[in-house]
Amino acid sequence: MHSESFHVQEELARCPVGRFHWQLGITIGALTLFDGYDVFNPAYVIHYVMQPWHLRPAQAGLLVSSGLVGFLLGSAAHGPVADKVGRRVTLLSGLWIASIFTLATALFANSFASFCTLRLLTGLGLGVLLPLATTYINEFAPQRSANAYAVWAVAFGWALGGSLAGVAGVLLTPRYGWQSLYWLGGCLSVLLIPIVHFTLPESVRYLAMKARVPQIVEIMTRLSPENANRYREATLVAEPATAATALLSPSYRRTTLCIWAAAFFCLFCIFGLSGWLPTIMLQRGQSFAASFGFGALLQIATFVGGLVCGYLSDWHGTRRIMIGLWWILGAASVLALSLSHGRAATFACVWAAGFFFGAQFVLNNFTAAAYETRIRATAVGMELSVGRVGAILGPWVAGYLQEASPGPTAMFTAIEIAGLIAALAIVLAREPVGGQSRQSSETDAAERRRSLT
């Protein structure tokens, strides 16, 4: 009598969201909270150091961009490492790197050069956390609620962290200086390390590639206790090997290039706007607390918008079109922001801009779902690496345009155009052959069932 066979991808797709899923989501959310908090801190540092360090606006933009250069390098380098040695150990390594250099920023960053250098080194660790957390949580996400679950797990923590940066900027920096932002972030991340170490399991799909059956059975049993006996007695169907060069193979090329373009221009918009929003609001006559509060509002709206976009994408199954529509409306919101001056109108426009550009989180999920397990971490890492080039240029270009043209109008125009290009790019993408769209997953599953009978 032959034992039953089971395929890890199919089993994970069928599992309902349960207690173990939420435990994983909370842990990943804590990781991305630190990432979101740390990435947006320099937007609040600008206010304190521009005059003492004698910085021009274009240089001040580099305070934000320097960390993103490290992020780019970290997100590009981590993919092959995570695909080879595992998601868990790579995530922990990134958290250690980011924690150490965040504390070093609070201690030793006393000039433009030292701040940018330490931010670059911190970014090497941060460049692991967000892309790999996205890969990790998508490898556990059930098919029926993949977008919503992944957005809750990744985007909520990231947006909450960005919001916490705004709150800390208002409450701590006037009394304790901008260094207090990094003392708080560094201490919180150090406390998070043992929690992640003891609670985060290895990715089941990664374990399937390595044929580590006992560990797979243990985790699958926690995900679906009612199937424990079946998992112990069944034969595992392993994931097929796939080379990382497949990202630009004919089957994937069009989608890969479109994803890269979409990520580049969307993150140009998000970081160009968030990096300068508190400063622009101060220039418009808003109070210190209100100006920093607009930065926090943008991050909260980003999460809510990503979550709504994720739910609608799960419901209608039109993820690319939904993302494109969101970004068109985001560009329109920035146009409205450039024309508005009253506090209520500005509030509404900032909320709308964050809400609609929040579709970036769904783009991350689209990327993770579009590639096979063996190259998924590499694919998401490359998407966010290319996107971080846009994120690096966003604050710098925004500062340069303010220097070349008085006022923020030219900056807002550049962001509007970038948002429209991002929308066009994602609409032109397509599900690649061998990707994980719902239709292709169901077709592949049917083929495997027929081959077993």
3-state secondary structure of 6: strand
Contact in structure between 123 and 70 (CB atoms under 8 Å): yes
Closest CA to 360 of 302, 308, 318, 317: 302
Domains of the chain by start residue, with CATH:
5-452 (1.20.1250.20)
User: Is 50 exceeded by the pLDDT of residue 180?
Assistant: yes
Structure tokens at 451: 């081959």
Model pLDDT for residues 227-273, shown as the tens digit of each residue: 778 777 777 665 554 555 678 888 788 889 999 999 999 999 998 88
6 forms bridges with which residues in the sheet?
236
Model pLDDT for residues 47-78, shown as the tens digit of each residue: 899 899 998 887 887 887 788 788 878 877 87
Between helices 112-140 and 360-369, what is the axis angle to 10°?
50
CB atoms within 10 A of CB 35: 27
Closest CA to 271 of 429, 61, 433, 422: 61
Q: Which range, 246-260, 384-398, 427-441, has the best average confidence (pLDDT)?
A: 246-260
Which pTM was predicted?
A: 0.69
User: Is 50 exceeded by the pLDDT of residue 25?
Assistant: yes
Distances, alpha carbon 103 to alpha carbons 154, 177, 188, in Å: 24, 15, 10
Q: H-type helices in 372-437, by residue range?
A: 373-404, 409-428
Structure tokens at 240: 């097929």
